Amino acid sequence: MSVTSNAHKLGQLIDKVQGHVGDKHIEVLHGIRLDIDATDLHAVASDRYTIAAARYRLNYGDQRQEPWARTIPGSWLKPLREWVNSHGGGDTITISTETGRVDFTTAHTEIRIPVTDDQEFPNWRALLRGIAAEIPTIYAFPAIDARMLTRWADTGDVLRVRVTTDQKALMVFGEDFVGAQMPKRYAGIGPCEEETFEQALALWPHLFTDDGDTADMATDMPDENKPRYEATSSIPDMVESLLQQTLRSTSDMLGAPSEEPGAMASFAIAGVNAWSAYRFLAALHKADPRLATQTVADLAEELDAGDFSETAWDIAEAAGHDPQKWADDYEAHLKKLAAKRAAEAETQPATSQPADA
């Protein structure tokens, strides 16, 4: 099973969707899906929150082949893109699949990429059909310059977008930000004033069909498989984690045995620290969202590195404190507590043993 493309078009396919590749915690999304059907070579990527599909029209002539799809792992995307870029734009690249791999071949060289043949991937066609099915065909359909959309990233905020009509600006709203963007006069497919949503759907006749399955991105995407020890670099995820820890610690504290005051104190301290961290993060995000985002990202790297205890020691010394005295005092406290418990155990009456039968 093979298809051909020139190097320029294949490079374009990779570039158009690479920004949507999921991270390593979602294995099935950590890569680009090559999906071949009767008419097109598709490159598809998704990170659960966005999904992008680019296509290249194939020229089969009178021949047809069985559709096939394989996911190029994320770790191979950079080597593949560099290999493609090493060729002239007009060089023909044959893409073929063998058991356990996908081969990219030219007249003089090739690259073989190991893949998992039976690896599942979200039904991207059904997901896009499900979204399109909920949009009225009379919906305003302005053409937006994708290069201008990146300008809104500097707001460092969650934005809401309101589309009005085809020839009017769309509105952008954030908690502390508001703006607008004018549409382009030419959509790249046809003049804006002549193109409707129905006409755009008709450009993908094999995708947006009435009898096709539909899916929902909110419920039909794979879950993350993030290790517990790995810190989050996302503010929403950290907020959720801190609030969960606050409630969990409070619940554990109320359920702790009364004869173990140390356990109760530990749960109380954990809850207080989690709530304090949440309040500080919320205040920082309100005052400076970009600084809050960068701080959470830096914190994730420090926690994952695992050397924050040594860093805290250095910072304490630089601030004029004596961390060694803190450690000695805490060690003395633990020894005193252990001696107290040992003394209490000796004063307890011995439990009577049952007589042998």
Output the CA torsion 154→159→163→167 (10° steps).
-10
**What is the CA 11 to chain-centroid distance, rounded?**
24
Residue 233: predicted pLDDT: 74
Say which DSSP state 231 is in: P
Domain ranges of the chain: 2-114, 138-195, 235-345
Residue 357: predicted pLDDT: 43
Query: Under 8 Å CB-to-CB from 216, ≥6 apart: which residues?
Result: 127, 130
Is domain 2-114 in CATH 3.40.50.170, yes or no? no
For residue 265 the two structure tokens come to: 């104190």
Residue 330: predicted pLDDT: 83
Secondary structure (DSSP) of 170-196? EEEEETTEEEEEPPPSB-SSSBGGG--
Task: List 70's β-bridge partners, or say none.
Answer: 34
| pLDDT tens readout for residues 203-251 | 888 888 766 788 888 888 888 776 555 677 788 888 888 888 888 887 8
Report phi then psi at 190, rounded to 5: -170, 165
| pLDDT tens readout for residues 317-343 | 888 999 898 888 888 888 888 888 788
Q: How many CB atoms lie within 10 A of CB 333?
A: 10
Query: Under 8 Å CB-to-CB from 121, ≥6 apart: which residues?
Result: 28, 29, 33, 44, 69, 71
Q: Cα–Cα distance between 75 and 288 in angstroms, integer?
A: 35
Closest CA to 177 of 150, 158, 163, 151: 158
Q: Cα–Cα distance between 245 and 241 in angstroms, integer?
A: 6
Q: Which residue has the tokens 């140390």?
A: 262
Low-confidence ranges of the chain (pLDDT < 70): 60-65, 156, 185-195, 210-211, 226-230, 256-263, 349-357
Residue 140: predicted pLDDT: 73
Residue 15: predicted pLDDT: 94
Q: Cα–Cα distance between 15 and 56 in angstroms, integer?
A: 13
Residue 261: predicted pLDDT: 62
